[in-house]
Chains A and B, each alone.
Chain A
Amino acid sequence: MTAAARGGPAAGRPAGTLLPTTVIGSYAVPEWLGQLKNDYCQRRISKSYLDEIHEMAIKAAILDQERAGIDIVSDGELRRDNDIDYLLARIPGVEIPQRAKADYFDYYEAEVAHPLPEPADLGLGLGLAGDFRFTRQLTDMPVKVSITGPFSLSRRIRNTAYADPADLVRALARLLNAEAAELARAGARLLQVDEPFLAGYPEDIALAVEAINIVTDVPGVHWTLHVCYGNRYARPLWAGHYDFLFPAVQDTTVDQLALEFARKGDEDLRLLEKYQWDRGLGLGVIDVKTDQVESPAQVATRIRRALRFVPPEMLSVNPDCGLRHVRPEAARAKLSAMVAGAAEVRAELAGHR
């Protein structure tokens, strides 16, 4: 049973919007912001100063998305050093012996030496609900929040606590589920699990699916699962195809898959047909590993190709992954092109009805 079937929004989109446009999560980090984050890492500025900077940057990121015409926005994940540390550093029981970093984007060396506490033992949660509340008050648009998945988090932890590494993944999943429930209580309806490391460990897909289902067991939420081939430093970390997702991913309870196609090409779209994926698809139409801006026509072409495999009612349009490594001016232009391309196809579809 999918989350939507349990009462979540039918397709995770603003009412009546065909081919809604959204982002995967992270937004362009300007060089100066990276520098300020480093200044904080080296204790040149205080935490409260950095918090204010982040809040200003988030306001700007939301404004950029709104002006580009994005239908479902995010806070740009601008508070997060990278896709892993923001959560790892907040999970009780995850030890990070060395918190000083030369560069904010570096990963912490994290360790779990004792079994993680169960959610019931937690106090105020991991803080994502507070982030959501801040974003919610800034915009009238639907807001999406992404959570790095338990499998990927576990890959950055040295585990000496669990004899079976799968138990660490499950324990992380339970904590993330509690955070998702907290987000739902705060009013979040569009949540996403990101598994950026999964493509590197295709043999673990069954475990990842099991853990994702633990995380997403929250009523009233539309869930997206985002799987890409890595976007660290704007480079793919892995090579291959999405074959490994199927058929296992059919067993997830997510409402939508968000996958990258712009960089890799649309060869893997056939998998959706082959395995009769009958839920939503977040179609990656923007290559986030280059500053070269796509034209609206390119975007429209990519959407039209996807429509051969996915009905329009099930299709959302997004970049391949987060825009973190794209220069701000390129990020703005790419989002605008994406919105224009989607509008072009939307108009065509309207004409045929």
Chain B
Amino acid sequence: MRIDVRPVSRLRGQDPIDLLGALTPVIEALQASDADLSKVRIVCDWVQYRASFRAAADYRPVLAAGWRAGPDQGDPAWLPDDGLPAAETAFELAVDLRRAGPDLGALVTRLLAEHAAPASSAQLPLEPWGPGSASCIWRFNTLYWQALSFWEQATGREYERALPGGESAARDSGAVRELILELFKIWDDLDARGALPAELYVVELGVGNGSQARTWLDEFVTLSGMHSRDYYRRLHYLMGDYSPHVLGRASKAVAHHGDRVNALVVDATRPAVSLGFLRGKSFLVYISNVYDNLPGDEVASIGGRSYQVEVRAFLPGKDARRIARRFAAPVRRLPDLVDKLLRLGPELLCEALPQHFGDPGRAVAFWREIWSALRLQERYVPLEGLDLYQIGPDLTGAALRSQLESGGDIRMHVNNGALNSFADTLPLLHPFGRLLCHDLFVTDIRDYGSGFYGPGKYDGSVVNWVNGPLLRHVGSRAGFDVRISPFAQRPAANVKTLTAVVRE
């Protein structure tokens, strides 16, 4: 048996975790079970999110190479040939120390029993097993941004108020000024060589309420007026976001800049699809609080072998029964209703199914209840060669190798959406351009061994820290120097600043 305690910094200090108190009932429950104790990994996290996809304890099987799916929605079956080991080579008990309490032993006993007899489980799966990026939690996330006004109406607060600190990345005019003056210097140099393009492009991906764009453009006008060349005349500021609602709101904030600004619906995971015409032309791409909100997988190295973390969204039985009762539907219909909600959105859902949802408000109530109750099961599925794991259209799992082989067991984010977005954005940069990104970055691969970095729930959206070293590696292989530094305006904040510039 192995016990892996990650939040070691919380074992000391003013209010240290009672580790032994938390683990004792888990150990006792295991002792009382028939489980093969030599195959047990107890992994202890401290889940900092008020709302997450985890219970106080979860059971995660570690599957063997060559396992094959059973008929019950992909549950692992025995290996095909007699005499080979079971499909499950080990299992992990994941404990959230923040929520460890007197009930933990009973919960672990129930998890072990449910695993031994899956038919006894009351959990209601909402989807088949699959990589994290394919889970419906990301469809919920998309719905949140697309139907934000409905959600905000129901909660009575704007989404920025739901973020820690009450706003997304700060908009400090001093930092903006500094950045603009650096751009002026680059442009002056290019102009002196006769290599300054006629159009000067700046791109913002993930535009929030438009205040970043407003601050930036207002400063630009002022500084451009003081400069001998009127760069404002040549400037094109493109705002990209995948939420038309957000774009509309941001556009109003910068309406006084007229045709210097354009708004485009952009798939953040493939920005070049909409912005390909800017290849090699953007002097600045600014991205704030986007990457942590894009679909991603997780991978792990356990005992020298690489695994993909597969997930399956489910509703705990008690919650499923309560929600079904409230919306006058049989429990077994809930997965279908959830799928319809995610496809149609709340407004059309109530039109399509008035017997369950009399008005949009009631559809939003259904949405919020499901979201609140939704959890993720997890299992470790062997990767049969990193090169066969496709992170994105142009990136294979070979990029993960150095991190997975960095020593010992590790579980880490792949952030497929963020990586694809990043890799797809870099070619947009002019040789003297830069990408500037404010987000939640894990800065050292070893941090994954001492903390929990998501996914969690922020209001109606998903938040998932970004594997900074992996972005650094991918950027480096594309010819960029990628640096992650503290957020200048709030150095102690979790938000960090990533900068990518072309390296010679």
Q: Which residues of A contact B (CB under 8 A)?
A: 31-32, 35, 38, 102-103, 105, 200, 202, 230, 232-240
Evaluate contact between B431 and A238: CB separation under 8 angstroms.
Answer: yes
Stretch at the interface among B295-303, B361-369, B459-467, B474-482: B474-482
Within the complex, the shortest CB–CB distance from A205 to chain B, in Å, comes to 13
- Chain B residues within 8 Å of chain A by Cβ, number: 20
Taking CB atoms, residues of chain A closer than 8 Å to B402 are 38, 102
Taking CB atoms, residues of chain B closer than 8 Å to A234 are 478-479
- Decide yes or no: A235 and B502 within 8 Å by CB, A31-B387, A32-B387, A103-B476 being known contacts: yes
As a 0/1 sequence over residues 380 to 403 of chain B, the CB contacts with chain A under 8 angstroms (1 = contact) are 000000010000000010100110
Evaluate contact between B477 and A233: CB separation under 8 angstroms.
Answer: yes
Evaluate contact between B195 and A237: CB separation under 8 angstroms.
Answer: no
Question: Can you name 11 A-B residue pairings with CB atoms under 8 Å?
Answer: A32-B387, A32-B398, A35-B398, A35-B401, A232-B504, A233-B480, A234-B479, A235-B479, A236-B431, A239-B190, A239-B430
Within the complex, the shortest CB–CB distance from A91 to chain B, in Å, comes to 20
Taking CB atoms, residues of chain A closer than 8 Å to B427 are 235
Q: How far is the CA of A207 from the CA of B342 in the complex (A)?
A: 65
Evaluate contact between B398 and A237: CB separation under 8 angstroms.
Answer: no
Evaluate contact between B280 and A236: CB separation under 8 angstroms.
Answer: yes
B193 at interface, CB cutoff 8 A:
yes
Cβ 8 A contact of A103, one of B194, B477, B502, B504:
B477
Q: Which residues of B contact A (CB under 8 A)?
A: 190, 193-195, 280, 387, 396, 398, 401-402, 427, 430-431, 476-480, 502, 504
Within the complex, the shortest CB–CB distance from B397 to chain A, in Å, comes to 10
Taking CB atoms, residues of chain B closer than 8 Å to A237 are 431, 502, 504
Taking CB atoms, residues of chain A closer than 8 Å to B430 are 239
Q: How far is the CA of A38 from the CA of B401 in the complex (A)?
A: 11
Name which residue of chain A comes closest to B399, CB basis: A31
Taking CB atoms, residues of chain A closer than 8 Å to B502 are 235, 237
Most buried by A among B195, B396, B430: B195
Q: How far is the CA of A239 from the CA of B398 in the complex (A)?
A: 32
New A-B pairs, 18, CB < 8 Å, besides A234-B478, A240-B194, A240-B195: A31-B387, A32-B387, A103-B476, A103-B477, A202-B193, A230-B431, A232-B479, A233-B477, A233-B478, A235-B427, A235-B431, A235-B478, A237-B431, A237-B502, A237-B504, A238-B431, A239-B430, A239-B431
Taking CB atoms, residues of chain A closer than 8 Å to B280 are 236
Within the complex, the shortest CB–CB distance from B268 to chain A, in Å, comes to 22
Within the complex, the shortest CB–CB distance from B411 to chain A, in Å, comes to 23
Q: How far is the CA of A236 from the CA of B429 in the complex (A)?
A: 11
Evaluate contact between B431 and A31: CB separation under 8 angstroms.
Answer: no
Taking CB atoms, residues of chain A closer than 8 Å to B504 are 200, 232, 237
Within the complex, the shortest CB–CB distance from B469 to chain A, in Å, comes to 11
Within the complex, the shortest CB–CB distance from B427 to chain A, in Å, comes to 7
Evaluate contact between B195 and A239: CB separation under 8 angstroms.
Answer: yes
Taking CB atoms, residues of chain A closer than 8 Å to B398 are 31-32, 35
Evaluate contact between A233 and B387: CB separation under 8 angstroms.
Answer: no
Q: How far is the CA of A102 from the CA of B473 in the complex (A)?
A: 10
Taking CB atoms, residues of chain B closer than 8 Å to A105 are 477
Most buried by B among A38, A103, A235, A237: A235
Q: How far is the CA of A232 from the CA of B402 in the complex (A)?
A: 22
Most buried by A among B280, B477, B479: B479
Taking CB atoms, residues of chain B closer than 8 Å to A38 are 402
Taking CB atoms, residues of chain B closer than 8 Å to A202 are 193
